[in-house]
Structure 1
């Protein structure tokens, strides 16, 4: 048995929010969301939670198929995602704290997570 994995996008300000959604119950479209929450003014933190059919959210923008994960490897998703550092606080007011580093938000964290899941052979 395997589960479908998606990149989901929700409306956000100033940029839309990206997360990974694993559909564990195809009959009703529910599953789990793996994401970082917060902002670059205060820093972000990793979160995984029960997720409902993304299309039912009022802020839903898109859902793109990434691949699948075998049920036996499903537990590794949380392990891998939680090992990726969430974006840190990058501003103090309007002043950038690390001007020599590129800004890092949920988009970058999600891309890092997808790459790590693929490299580990979890996302196929």
Structure 2
């Protein structure tokens, strides 16, 4: 037995917000693994239970990325927590670390997906 896992996007400005959604319940609700905040202030992990993404007021997109076994489900959060959230990268209009690429929720989500695959938790 396993759960479907998706990369979900919700409307954001200037970029859509990306997160990992695990559909863990019969009503298509589940749990979202994400970072919240901004590159102006820094981000933190913001994992939480979530209703079906299509019911979100800001829902944009849902892309299937694989499955996680029920036995391995509890390993998702520690793996996601090991991926550092994006730090504060701007002070007003001034970029604090000009030599580093900007890192937002989209980059964090991709890194978390790659870590879940590498750990053998997320399977196609």
Query: What range describes the TM-score normalised by the shorter chain of this pair?
Result: over 0.9
Equivalent positions of 1:18-97 (< 5 A) are 18-25=18-25, 27-97=26-96
How many residues of Structure 1 are paired with residues of Structure 2 in the alignment? 123
Which has the larger strand fraction? 1
Question: Does structure 1 residue 116 correspond to structure 2 residue 115?
Answer: yes
CA positional deviation for 1:43: 0.1
The TM-score with structure 2 as length reference comes to 0.98
The TM-score with structure 1 as length reference comes to 0.98
Structure 1 runs of 4+ with >4 Å offset: none
* Structure 1: unaligned runs, 5 residues or longer: none
Q: Secondary structure at the match of 1:74?
A: helix
Q: Secondary structure at the match of 1:80?
A: helix
CA positional deviation for 1:40: 0.2
* Structure 2: unaligned runs, 5 residues or longer: none
